[in-house]
Structure 1
Amino acid sequence: MITFTVYGEPVAQGRPKASTSTGFVKMYDPKKSKDYKDYVKLAASEHAPDALLEGPLGMVLT
Structure 2
Amino acid sequence: MYKEASEALARSHAALSETHEKLNYSTSHDPATGLLNREAFMVTWLVWAEMKNVTCCS
TM-score range, shorter chain: 0.3 to 0.5
Report the structure, 1 or 2, having the larger helix content. Answer: 2
TM-score between both structures, scaled by the size of structure 2: 0.35
Report the structure, 1 or 2, having the larger strand content. Answer: 1
TM-score between both structures, scaled by the size of structure 1: 0.33
Higher relative contact order (CA 8 A, sep 6+): 1
